[in-house]
Amino acid sequence: MDQSTVTNGTDDFIRECIDRFGHMNKKDYEVALFHLLWQNGFAQKSDFEISKELRIPVSRVRGLRYENDLIYSSVDETQYKQEFYQILKNGTFKPLSDNKMQFAVKDKMLRLYIIDKLESYGSFADSSFNSNIVVVTASDVLILLADFEQKEQLKKDIKQQLKEQGKLLPKDLSETLLDGLKALAKDVAKQIAPNVTDWLSNWLGNK
């Protein structure tokens, strides 16, 4: 990156370094500098592109991206929802056995947010194979959609069902819960990719 193009946030970077002088370690400086670069074009680059430009491993780029989000980001529920829907609409999905699907979530904060949301319901998402890949069931996606769409009664019914049955919604759902999930899938159909909509509909159709 041409140093002359680094203009946004320069004064804030200098002020932070002065205000925290004597209290910032090497990592603090790196994260602050990464945030400055993030404001000046890095936000539009892939992890691989950044790693080539900075000549550091992709794993370090991901760590710096996470620290940047953790310290400097002010992301709220609305933005997490938008990012999640963008993945469901434009992401690359790979169907797996046992009615599961995997997709990439490169943003660590969003990935942890998704996992935390599911755990709050008593469910879970698996990212043990590859930290950037999330493996979910159709019921997991429906749980997240119910939460993002603020379907309060549906959320309550899902939590009760998971509390009684464990970490997966069972094959035999109550008529009320099934109708609610079908209506939800129909409501969000235009916001997510057709193959994901079909996957959810097939799962619901087999109930």
- Over range 99-123, report the average pLDDT: 86
6: confidence class by pLDDT, cuts 50, 70, 90:
low
Most confident of 24-28, 98-102, 161-165, 166-170: 24-28
To the nearest whole number, what is the mean pLDDT of the chain?
Answer: 85
Tell me, yes or no, whether 23 and 112 share the same domain: no
Question: Residue 75 is encoded by which pair of tokens?
Answer: 């992301």
Tell me, yes or no, whether 140 and 190 share the same domain: yes
What pLDDT shows up at residue 108?
Answer: 83
Note down the domain range covering 48. 3-72
The domain tally of the chain equals 2
Tell me, yes or no, whether 118 and 40 share the same domain: no
What pLDDT shows up at residue 167?
Answer: 65
CB-CB contact of 191 with 83 (8 Å): no
Q: Show the DSSP H helices in 91-151 as ranges.
A: 108-121, 138-148
40-68 residue pLDDT tens: 888 888 889 999 999 999 889 988 988 99
What pLDDT shows up at residue 144?
Answer: 92
Question: Looking at the predicted structure, is the pLDDT value of residue 14 above 70?
Answer: yes
- pTM of the predicted model, to two decimals? 0.72
Tell me, yes or no, whether 82 and 63 share the same domain: no
Q: In DSSP terms, which residues pair with 104 in a beta bridge?
A: 133
Question: Looking at the predicted structure, is the pLDDT value of residue 111 above 70?
Answer: yes
What pLDDT shows up at residue 56?
Answer: 94
CA–CA dist 5, 41 (Å, integer):
9
- Over range 13-21, report the average pLDDT: 86
| Angle, helices 26-38/58-72, rounded to nearest 10 degrees | 80
Q: Which residue, of 17, 37, 72, is where some domain finishes?
A: 72
Tell me, yes or no, whether 67 and 81 share the same domain: no
Tell me, yes or no, whether 171 and 201 share the same domain: yes
CB-CB contact of 159 with 149 (8 Å): no
Tell me, yes or no, whether 56 and 140 share the same domain: no
Neighbour tally for 62: CB within 10 Å: 18
